């Protein structure tokens, strides 16, 4: 008789949990997937993260493009955006994707799903709504949530996080985004394009601190051109009488009137209320992180972690990468490490920012060269009015690509072949030799490889080539 009710129990049905569950069910393991409620299936990505934010950005970009197109018309349309139609659009796209992320669908795929908050009873048992379930292995995939702003707050301004922004029922006139990270930059620009007057207040010295200074500078300039105000180096003091009050580095105080604020000041891991200690799972001293090894195991070697709760790169595709590692480690005695060498991410502002592989500092420390290009002389960028941007690629002496960053229209797509070059160990020579039909936007990659190859044409080689030409009959 089986010792446990299930082979594997996965807590959290977001991107990470769903991926592990789907594979384990395919190989006919007895899988139990637990999430707080059926409406949480798909986790942050479907419900409060990637999907609704990209749908919102899509609408905002259409509104923006339509506004820009007025210059080709004899009369312009300046009617305001109907926010209800925007949120209905977002919901319709979520509902579409939800067709493959709901209890019935999971059941069809052989995954047993239950709703409720899980907590550990011992190293092999959890309790959900008073019922106990046991398994040989567990996967913690409980994700993260928005960090709260802990300052005095008289609640005189409507407050949003990623949890409720996609159901907003009015278009704020003055919208203050607290925090200057990727979520706030994406959503702040989207609301500015929909018609709000957006201000970004951030404690950092620049927006998008995880990107290079050059990338931040490009985005600051674009945001300013679009009427977004950016105030850096501030500390929020309180929310009072319809204003966000803050102090500057110099100690001066100032305030900004707002009818809505969006708080995006980092993420907190969902690790409370799980009674982790009963399963022998240890956390760090501040109780803010799980202790996780490079094989994605907790201090209880039968309990793995995937996704945001692992506490490093918080992206859907990283949750998927974690799932692959955890599946391999549960099945094989040859343990696989999570390798962040080929990590990549995209910030879906306009222009987009794509970043991959080693960062600028690490590249410099390893003696890699930075090859840069801009879009000013790129024919496609010129006709598409998208010359704003730049690309920096970190290469070794042979031109092998180790990382880079691109800020450009559709950088997420344009960078894909550079990311492939990196993970396949290819170099700029391979890119140079590839055919780029004129005028595909990715010819920027050809431009950068041509510049690198062109440097081989020194005065001496030019002299040799001239000699060959003249001596050739
Ligand atoms: C606004 C926004 C935009 C984003 N855009 C992108 C993007 O464009 N690209 C990208 O790659 N990433 C993006 N992300 C990040 C991405 O959403 C997350 O990295 C991803 O969803 C993490 O997946 P996960 O499985 O780790 O956790 P989650 O998706 O958060 O899932 C965790 C699940 O666990 C459940 N849970 C928690 N505690 C318990 C418990 N005790 N018992 C039972 N269930 C529990 C929760 O209900 C939840 O459903 C974005 C995030 C935000 C907020």
- pLDDT by residue (tens digit) across 294-351? 999 999 999 999 999 999 999 999 999 999 999 999 999 999 999 999 999 999 999 9
* Averaged pLDDT for residues 420-435: 95
CA atoms within 13 Å, Cβ hemisphere of 345: 18
* Averaged pLDDT for residues 248-259: 94
* pLDDT exceeds 70 at position 1: no
In contact, 396 and 402? CB cutoff 8 Å: yes
Task: Give the span between the Cα atoms of 234 and 179, in whole angstroms.
Answer: 10
The encoded tokens of residue 358 equal 């080693």
Which pLDDT score is estimated for 250? 87
pLDDT, tens digit (0-9, with 9 covering 90-100), for 124-176 = 999 999 999 999 999 999 999 999 999 999 999 999 999 999 999 999 999 99
The encoded tokens of residue 262 equal 């969006």
Q: Whose CA is nearest to atom 48 of ligand 1?
A: 43
Q: Whose CA is nearest to atom 15 of ligand 1?
A: 315
The rounded Å distance from CA 47 to ligand 1 centre is 9
pLDDT band at 98 (very low <50, low <70, confident <90, very high): very high
Which pLDDT score is estimated for 2? 76
List phi, psi (to 5°) of 442.
-75, 0
Which strands make up the sheet holding 344-347, listed edge to edge?
Answer: 344-347, 352-357, 401-408, 390-395, 369-374
The encoded tokens of residue 244 equal 């966000």
pLDDT band at 473 (very low <50, low <70, confident <90, very high): confident
Which pLDDT score is estimated for 389? 95
Q: Which of 138, 163, 125, 115 lies closest to 13 in space, CA to CA? A: 115
Mean pLDDT (the chain, rounded): 96
DSSP 3-state of 368: coil
What is the number of other CB atoms lying within 10 angstroms of the CB of residue 42?
Answer: 24
pLDDT, tens digit (0-9, with 9 covering 90-100), for 357-376 = 999 999 999 999 999 999 99
Task: Give the span between the Cα atoms of 446 and 379, in whole angstroms.
Answer: 13
Task: Please confirm whether the linkage preceding 247 is cis (ω < 30° from 0).
Answer: no
The rounded Å distance from CA 138 to ligand 1 centre is 18
**Residues framing ligand 1 (Cβ under 6 A):** 11-17, 34-36, 40, 43-45, 49-50, 53, 117-118, 141-143, 162, 183, 270, 273-274, 307-309, 314-317, 319, 348
Q: Whose CA is nearest to atom 3 of ligand 1?
A: 49
DSSP 3-state of 130: coil
Helices (H) and strands (E) in the chain, counts: 15, 22
* pLDDT exceeds 60 at position 5: yes
The torsion defined by the Cα of 82, 60, 210 and 214, in degrees rounded to 10, comes to -130
Question: In this structure, is the dihedral angle defined by the CA atoms of residues 314, 318, 320 and 326, taken in order, positive or negative?
Answer: negative
Among 31-35, 70-74, 256-260, 288-292, which is the least confidently predicted range? 70-74
E-only strand ranges, 389-466: 390-395, 401-408
Which pLDDT score is estimated for 73? 92
* pLDDT exceeds 70 at position 66: yes
Which pLDDT score is estimated for 292? 98
Long-range contacts formed by 245-248: CB under 8 A, 24+ apart: 246/201
E-only strand ranges, 320-467: 344-347, 352-357, 369-374, 390-395, 401-408
The encoded tokens of residue 35 equal 């999430």
pLDDT band at 456 (very low <50, low <70, confident <90, very high): confident
Share of the chain above pLDDT 70, in %: 100
The rounded Å distance from CA 43 to ligand 1 centre is 5
């Amino acid at each position: 008789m089986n010792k446990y009710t299930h082979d594997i129990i996965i807590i959290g049905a977001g991107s990470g949990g769903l991926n592990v569950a789907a594979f384990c069910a395919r190989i006919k393991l007895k899988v139990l997937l637990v999430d707080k409620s059926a409406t949480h299936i798909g986790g942050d990505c479907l419900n409060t993260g990637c999907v609704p934010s990209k749908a919102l950005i899509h609408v905002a970009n259409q509104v923006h493009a339509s506004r820009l197109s007025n210059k080709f018309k004899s009369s312009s349309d300046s009617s305001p955006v109907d926010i209800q139609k925007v949120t209905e659009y977002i919901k319709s796209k979520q509902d579409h994707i939800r067709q493959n992320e709901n209890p019935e669908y999971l059941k069809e795929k052989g995954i047993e799903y239950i709703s409720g908050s899980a907590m550990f009873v011992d190293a092999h048992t959890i309790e959900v709504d008073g019922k106990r379930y046991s398994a040989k292995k567990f996967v913690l995939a409980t994700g993260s949530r928005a960090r709260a702003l802990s300052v005095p707050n008289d609640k005189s301004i409507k407050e949003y996080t990623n949890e409720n922004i996609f159901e907003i029922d009015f278009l704020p006139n003055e919208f203050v985004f607290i925090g200057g990270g990727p979520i706030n930059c994406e959503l702040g620009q989207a609301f500015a394009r929909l018609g709000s007057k957006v201000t970004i207040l951030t404690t950092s010295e620049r927006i998008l601190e995880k990107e290079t200074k050059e990338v931040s500078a490009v985005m600051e300039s674009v945001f300013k051109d679009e009427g977004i105000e950016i105030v850096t180096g501030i500390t929020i003091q309180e929310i009072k009488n319809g204003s966000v009050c803050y102090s500057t580095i110099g100690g001066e105080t100032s305030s900004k009137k707002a009818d809505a604020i969006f708080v995006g000041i980092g993420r907190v891991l969902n690790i409370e209320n799980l009674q982790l200690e009963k399963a022998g799972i240890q956390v760090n001293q501040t109780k803010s992180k799980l202790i996780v090894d490079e094989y994605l195991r907790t201090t209880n070697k039968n309990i793995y972690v995937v996704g945001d709760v692992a506490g490093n790169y918080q992206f859907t595709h990283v949750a998927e990468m974690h799932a692959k590692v955890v599946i391999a480690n549960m099945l094989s005695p040859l343990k696989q490490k999570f390798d962040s060498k080929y990590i990549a991410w995209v910030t879906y502002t306009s222009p987009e920012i794509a970043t991959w592989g080693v960062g600028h500092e690490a590249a410099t420390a390893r003696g890699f060269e930075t090859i840069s290009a801009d879009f000013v002389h790129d024919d496609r960028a010129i006709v598409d009015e998208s010359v704003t941007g730049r690309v920096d690629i970190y290469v070794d002496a042979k031109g092998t690509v180790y990382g880079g960053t691109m800020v450009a229209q559709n950088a997420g797509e344009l960078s894909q072949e550079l990311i492939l070059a990196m993970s396949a160990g290819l170099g700029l020579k391979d890119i140079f030799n590839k055919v780029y039909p004129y005028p595909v936007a990715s010819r920027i990659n050809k431009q950068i490889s041509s510049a690198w190859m062109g440097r081989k044409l020194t005065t001496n080689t030019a002299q040799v080539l001239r000699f060959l030409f003249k001596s050739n009959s």
